[in-house]
Amino acid sequence: MSTFSFSIDAECPSSWARAGTIQTLHGTIQTPVFMPVGTQASVKSVSPEELREAGAQIILANTYHLMLRPGSRLIAEFGGLHNFMHWDGPILTDSGGFQVFSLGHLRKLSEEGAAFKSHLDGSPHMLTPENVMQIESELGADIILPLDICAPYPSSPQSAREAMELTHRWAERALSVKEQYRSEQTLFGIVQGAFEPELRQQSARYIGSLPFPGLSIGGLSVGEPKAEMWDLLRSVTPELPRGKPRHLLGVGSPEDLVMGVSLGMDMFDCVLPTRVARHGGLFTHYGRVNIKASRFSAQHGPVEEGCDCYTCRNYSAAYVHHLARAEEQLYYRLGSIHNIRFMLRLASEIRASIIAGTFPEFRDTFLARYVPTSEKVREDQREKWKAARSRLS
């Protein structure tokens, strides 16, 4: 029996922001929510206890990586991901499709599914809408996603349409086998349509009409200019059913979280906060700082004044700076904890402002103060995508 439910606690009258509550078998999730990403069933360098203490309500794990190593069957033998990784809160797994397409491992795309070679040992594998449901049932997450096609940026209108239509047929196939597996898992539908507003709207209406209890918006933040991503969401959100939670897949810088909520999104996941932390990039309300910069070398106060994370409560910026410069193991943990807590606190501040009826002021104040990282980073991302695609031939 499904234990999944979603209710809306408050809506902002002058934007599309809403605060909601999701119930799952492993706990309650208050939205808007940021979901730290544990690619290999581990949020890099942070323990489940530390995630809990930072306020994480749900984490994401990657099916692609886990099916190849250690294998979904082995994880099932250990009672699923919750037991295997010692995290008793809600978990969401993606379908593996994004990695197959974005990392350049795809060998053949057909009506049947996506054939690819493992990046670990070159062994051949095939993802189909049906076997993805089986693999995800073995992993045992609370929320699971169906196989979809993430079209690259840019895509021709014709290939964008073909990818969307195949994604829709795969969504139906996933739904038709889902009931053979664990009923306590909740399958979200994925909206695609690349960068064509009409296709996005069509996909939102179609996927929204199928019996998925929640929806993920896929295929964004793949190197397109941010303005284009927000324009697409502006045309998509009005087509989404109000009563289902909306997950913006793979999006999650601080400014993205604030903008995404304003445009009607409830759930966010991204490796960015932990990845940039490992490279010395730590979030503050004024933007991302490089903790390795010499201006922190003798700073007695914390990385950010007023931050309630474990790192800032216990260590000076000078010490964190020293650890980062010396590439000490402890730095990776302390830096990751700060950025995760920053994202989680930001999400709960956004939620509180929606409930208090002050979200527009919160959004405008945050965005006026926060200096985002330049588009250069996004261009680099796009180049990586192009390189991945060119290796397909």
Q: Using CB under 5 A, list all residues that contact Zn ion.
A: 307, 309, 311-312, 338
Catalytic residue among 148, 269, 308, 364: 269
Cα angle, residue 70 at apex, residues 275 and 73 outer, rounded to 5°: 130
Tell me the closest approach of the beta carbon of residue 303 to Zn ion, in angstroms.
Answer: 5
Tell me the closest approach of the beta carbon of residue 335 to Zn ion, in angstroms.
Answer: 9
Q: Which of 232/312 has CB closer to Zn ion?
A: 312
Q: Which of 125/321 has CB closer to Zn ion?
A: 321
Catalytic residue among 9, 88, 94, 142: 94
Cα gap 164→199, rounded to integer Å: 8
Q: Which of 311/353 has CB closer to Zn ion?
A: 311
Cα gap 122→117, rounded to integer Å: 5
In sequence order, the 6+-apart residues with CB closer than 8 A to the CB of 180 are 133
Whether 214 and 247 have beta carbons less than 8 Å apart is answered as: yes
Tell me the closest approach of the beta carbon of residue 309 to Zn ion, in angstroms.
Answer: 3
Question: Catalytic site residue 269?
Answer: yes
Q: Which of 75/312 has CB closer to Zn ion?
A: 312
Question: Catalytic site residue 142?
Answer: no
Q: Which of 200/338 has CB closer to Zn ion?
A: 338
Identify the residue whose tokens are 């919750």: 82
Beta strands, E only, the chain? 5-11, 18-24, 27-31, 33-38, 59-61, 91-93, 106-109, 114-117, 124-127, 143-144, 186-187, 189-191, 215-217, 246-248, 267-270, 281-284, 287-290
Encoded tokens for 82: 């919750």
At 185 the three-state DSSP class reads: coil
Query: How would you class 330 by CB atoms within 10 Å of its CB: exposed for 0-12, middle for 13-18, buried for 19 or more?
Result: middle
Whether 170 and 146 have beta carbons less than 8 Å apart is answered as: yes
At 248 the three-state DSSP class reads: strand
Within a 10 A sphere around the Cβ of 138, how many other Cβ atoms?
20
Q: Which of 18/338 has CB closer to Zn ion?
A: 338
Tell me the closest approach of the beta carbon of residue 334 to Zn ion, in angstroms.
Answer: 9
Q: Which residues are catalytic?
A: 94, 269
